[in-house]
Amino acid sequence: MYQQYINVEARWMKEVILRKAAVLDMDRIMKLQISIFEGEQRIPAEIIPIAEEMHPQWWCALLQETVVGAVAAWEEKGTIHWGRFVMDPDYRGLHIGTRLAKFSLDDLFSQGIEEIHLEAREATVKIICSMGGKIMGQTTNFYEGTVTPLVLYKQDYAS
């Protein structure tokens, strides 16, 4: 499951590559993360990176050399979390994000992980719930917007 190619709408006339992020991708991923999270959602840039002791794994969507989407998973207090899910605004609505989410979740579940926790924005809640995710609590305010706690169990995952 190293990488996967997907065709995007004809107007882009390009192939997007979904893959586990390489070390060389991380600067471009962080630029996109900060642009979206700090720029659109007003989340402070200093809380965006994931500490190495949390064993982060990253996946990305690439259009040629441009990172157009990214997502991460990490371990926190014995629980696997999924998040930092971001799409370049120019590529939203093309289902690249949904395919990237599926690609990363397939990879995580193939590693023997049985459940994944996340706190997600409304658009991501819809994606994860369509794949079998369950809302686990109340939606709360988080910077410029809200987040909802979710869990996705391997047994419920509709890939």
Q: Say whether pLDDT at 1 is over 80.
A: no
pTM for the complete prediction? Answer: 0.90
Going by C-alpha positions, the residue among 96, 30, 32 that lies closest to residue 61 is 96
pLDDT at residue 9, as a whole number: 52
pLDDT at residue 5, as a whole number: 55
pLDDT at residue 64, as a whole number: 85
Q: Distance of CA 4 to CAs 72, 92, 104, 118, 130, Å? A: 17, 19, 11, 24, 21
Q: Would you place residue 6 in the very low, low, confident or very high pLDDT band (cuts 50, 70, 90)?
A: low
Task: Please give the average per-residue pLDDT across 64-72, as a whole number.
Answer: 94
Mean residue pLDDT across the chain: 91
Q: Say whether pLDDT at 13 is over 50.
A: no
Residue ranges of domains in the chain, CATH in brackets: 3-114 (3.40.630.30)
Query: CA angle, corner 150, sides to 104 and 1, nearest 5?
Result: 10
Q: Say whether pLDDT at 2 is over 80.
A: no
Reported residue count of the chain is 159
Report how far residue 19's alpha carbon sits from residue 13's, in angstroms, rounded to the nearest whole number: 20
Contacts of 154 (CB under 8 A, 6+ apart): 109, 113, 114, 115
Q: Say whether pLDDT at 10 is over 50.
A: no
Task: Please give the average per-residue pLDDT across 103-130, as a whole number.
Answer: 97
Q: Say whether pLDDT at 99 is over 50.
A: yes
| H or E, element range at 58 | strand 57-63
Q: Would you place residue 109 in the very low, low, confident or very high pLDDT band (cuts 50, 70, 90)?
A: very high
